[in-house]
Structure 1
Amino acid sequence: MALLELADVRASYGPVQVLESVSLSVPEGGAVGILGANGAGKTTTLRAISGTVRTRGTITFDGRSIRGLGPDRVAALGIAHVPEGRGTLMQLTVRENLRVGAYVRKDRKGIAADIDYCLDLFPQLHSRISSSAAALSGGEQQMLAVGRAFMARPRLLLLDEASLGLAPSTAKSVYDAIGRLRKESGIAMLIVEQNANLAFRLIDSATVLEMGRNALSGTSDELKGMDEIRRAYLGG
Structure 2
Amino acid sequence: MSLLELQDVTASYGQGSVLHGISLSLAEHGATGILGANGAGKTTTLRAISGTVRTTGRILFDGRDISGLGPDRTARLGIAHVPEGRGTLPQLSVRENLLVGAYQRRDRKQIATDVDYCLDLFPQLQQRIASHAAALSGGEQQMLAVARAFMAKPRLMLLDEASLGLAPSTARHVYEAVRRLRRETGLSMLVVEQNAVLAFSVVEHVTVLETGRVTVEGRTDELMGMDSVRRAYLGG
Q: Shorter chain as normaliser: what TM range?
A: over 0.9
Deviation at 1:19, TM superposition (A): 0.4
Aligned counterpart, 2:53 = 53
Listed one character per residue, the Cα deviations across residues 131-185 of structure 1 (whole Å, up to 9, x for unaligned) are 0000000000000000000000000000000000001110000000000000111
Structure 2 Cα separation of the partners of residues 100 and 62 of structure 1: 25
Structure 1: distance between partners of 2:205 and 2:115 = 30
Q: Which residue of 1 aligns with 2:128?
A: 128
Q: Tell me if 1:149 matches 2:149.
A: yes
2:226 alignment counterpart: 226
Find the counterpart in structure 2 of residue 168 from structure 1.
168
CA–CA separation in structure 2 for the residues paired with 1:195 and 1:27: 23
Q: In structure 2, the residue corresponding to 1:103 is in which secondary structure? A: coil
Aligned residue for 1:8, secondary structure, equals strand
Does 2:81 match 1:81? yes
Q: Map 1:1-16; keep pairs closer than 5 Å.
A: 1-16=1-16
Quote the offset at 1:103 in angstroms.
0.3
SS of equivalent to 2:6: strand
* Cα offsets for 1:6-30 (capped at 9, x unmatched): 0110000000000011111110000
Match for residue 103 of structure 1?
A: 103
1:92 is aligned with what amino acid? L
C-alpha distance in 2, partners of 1:171/1:5? Answer: 29
One-letter amino acid matched to 1:39: G
Residue type of the alignment partner of 1:111: I
Q: Which residue of 2 aligns with 1:187?
A: 187
Residue aligning to 2:69:
69
Name the SS of the counterpart of 2:158 in structure 1. Answer: strand
Paired with 1:156 and 1:5, the residues of 2 have a C-alpha distance of: 12
Match of 1:41 in 2: 41
Secondary structure (helix, strand or coil) at the match of 2:57 reads strand
Identity of aligned residues (%): 74
- Quick one: distance in 2 between partners of 1:69 and 1:100? 22
What are the within-5 Å matches in structure 2 for residues 187-226 of structure 1? Answer: 187-226=187-226
For residues 101-137 of structure 1, what are the alpha-carbon distances to aligned partners after superposition, in whole Å with 9 as ceiling and x for unaligned?
Answer: 0000011111100000000000000010000000000
- SS of the counterpart of 2:32? strand
Quick one: distance in 1 between partners of 2:30 and 2:162?
A: 18
Q: 1:118 matched to which residue of 2?
A: 118
Deviation of the 1:70 alpha carbon: 1.1
Q: Which amino acid in 2 is paired with 1:234?
A: L
Root-mean-square deviation (CA, aligned residues, Å) is 0.4
SS in 1 for 2:106: coil
Partner of 1:6, secondary structure, is strand
Offset at 1:84? Answer: 0.1
Amino acid at match of 2:55: T
Partner in structure 1 of residue 29 of structure 2: 29
Query: How many angstroms apart in 2 are the aligned matches of 1:225 and 1:23?
Result: 23
Distance 2:170 2:42 in 1: 23
SS in 1 for 2:120: helix
Stretches of 4+ moved more than 4 A in 1? none
